[in-house]
Amino acid sequence: MSTQIPETESQGYGTAKGFCITASFWMVIATLYGLTTAIEFIAPDLLGNISWLQFGRIRPIHTNLVIFGFVTPGLLAVGHYIVPKLLRTRLYSEKLGIFLVLLWNIMLAAIVVTLATGHTQGREYAEAIWPIDILVAVIFVLMFYNMAMTIKHRNEPILYVSVWYITSAVILTAFVYCIGNVIWVPHAGALTGIPDAIILWFYGHNVLGLLLTPLAVGIAYYVIPSVCRTPLYSHTLSLVGFWSLLILYSHIGTHHIIQAPVPTWLKVISIVGSIGMIIPVLVVLINLWFTAKGKLAEIHANIGAKFVFTGTIIYLFTCIQGPMQSLPQVQRLTHFSNWVVAHAHMGVLGFSGMIAIGGIYFILPRLTGKPIFSRALADFQYWMILIGLSGFMVTLTMAGLVQGNSWLNGETVYRILPQMHMYNIVRGSMGFLIVVGAVIGLYNIIRSLFFNPGESL
């Protein structure tokens, strides 16, 4: 078997291509579920009593699909291009990779069907039932095997930082997923009481911190220097960023349940760690932005890099807000309110989702040997998502502050609902723009891959 790096998709990269299609397709479905959920906030009786369209069922379908259907496969698509490229070898087994793409899609379909029919573990981001948990674990272990064997057969002795980030995200998630879903208790997928809350948020937090974040950062570390045609500003900083992320992020999940009767020492660790997170975040951003210094024209000219760079800016906003809202005084006001939903969309869509889409646009010409189908459509998608997301951030943050203040003043939840109505309408409208962006992205990506009239590069 040749270990030479393939030039284009026709010579390989089937796994990367498969994950590109997966991410762009499920982004449309996921955002449609999000929009339906938002409409139910505006008109709760609109969809009647149809069981599979009830809020409690479609909300977790939305959250599972955005994380596991759109952002993760989008980032994995790029990871399956970058890792072999940096190692100057082929992916160890494209057949295995494509098989895993198929399994991944079966897993997503199973999540939709089981949650729609009311089969759930009832724990946020861990709703999928036991057989699906096993499938997820198997996929991550096999994916790590494929990447580890690629590393073993590499032609490049240096393991660049993107390879560290991407491979560690895959193997760490295999463990974190099994622990968080309590897979040794198949009938419940849960412990009881406070230990369950702690373990759940160890997991929920690390889906964001040890899966989405390292994949996204690893990709930004590849895309920005490539587009700027300049070496990374500092290799040492990249190592500091990697290890401080692993040391600080992994055990601070308790900051999600500071309002719960969790042991105080655990809360203190999570709050101190959350403030300390400023180190890995700033180190990564300083490194990336100094690499791009004086090269913003290059970033702007490449649509993939434009998405990725925007993602890094939103990463800063998210991670200024994150440590702040882990402080008990702040969280007393913001917890349970739309403020957190704003933060969630900022992090998952604005940071990791933007980098996933940008990464896909960056690799498409390299997979096909042709430019992307339409730069204009990609730009339009960029603005739809950026405007929609900014609208989300402003509206939901304001709504959250109104909710939090009212509740602290002793108001009941239902008495605030009339005040929420206008915010909900704006959120729905902004969400519609994001859905439009998702549909355009699917069309552009499919045309780029299969029906692309462009001249070969």
Residues that bind ligand HEM (CB under 6 A): 27, 30-31, 34-35, 37-38, 41, 59, 62-63, 66, 70-71, 124, 208, 212-213, 255-256, 274, 277, 281, 318-319, 322-323, 325-326, 331, 334-335, 340-341, 343-345, 347-349, 351-353, 427-428, 431, 434-435
Give pairs for 312-315: CB < 8 Å, separation 24+: 312/220, 312/224, 312/285, 312/288, 312/351, 312/355, 314/346, 314/350, 314/351, 314/354, 314/389, 315/216, 315/281, 315/284, 315/285, 315/351
Environment class of 72 (CB within 10 Å of its CB; exposed 0-12, middle 13-18, buried 19+): buried
Fill in the amino acid letter for 224: I
Min dist CB 1 to ligand HEM, Å, is 37
How many CB atoms within 10 Å of residue 237? 18
Q: How far is CA 130 from the centre of its chain?
A: 23
Min dist CB 6 to ligand HEM, Å, is 30
Query: Can you read off the two tokens belonging to residue 393?
Result: 């951030």
Min dist CB 88 to ligand HEM, Å, is 30
Identity of the residue, 34 or 180, whose beta carbon is nearer to ligand HEM in the bound complex: 34
Fill in the amino acid letter for 233: Y
CA distance 314 to 90: 33
Q: Which residue is nearest to ligand HEM (CB)?
A: 431
3-state secondary structure of 108: helix
Query: Can you read off the two tokens belonging to residue 169?
Result: 């995200």
Min dist CB 60 to ligand HEM, Å, is 9
Identity of the residue, 12 or 323, whose beta carbon is nearer to ligand HEM in the bound complex: 323
Identity of the residue, 41 or 99, whose beta carbon is nearer to ligand HEM in the bound complex: 41
Identity of the residue, 218 or 323, whose beta carbon is nearer to ligand HEM in the bound complex: 323
Identity of the residue, 66 or 100, whose beta carbon is nearer to ligand HEM in the bound complex: 66
User: Do residues 195 and 161 touch, judged by C-beta distance below 8 A?
Assistant: no
Identity of the residue, 37 or 310, whose beta carbon is nearer to ligand HEM in the bound complex: 37
Identity of the residue, 322 or 365, whose beta carbon is nearer to ligand HEM in the bound complex: 322
Min dist CB 389 to ligand HEM, Å, is 8
Min dist CB 232 to ligand HEM, Å, is 21
CA distance 432 to 240: 40
Min dist CB 276 to ligand HEM, Å, is 9
Distances, alpha carbon 180 to alpha carbons 117, 131, 223, 349, in Å: 23, 15, 32, 23
Identity of the residue, 141 or 341, whose beta carbon is nearer to ligand HEM in the bound complex: 341
Min dist CB 216 to ligand HEM, Å, is 7
CA distance 186 to 128: 11
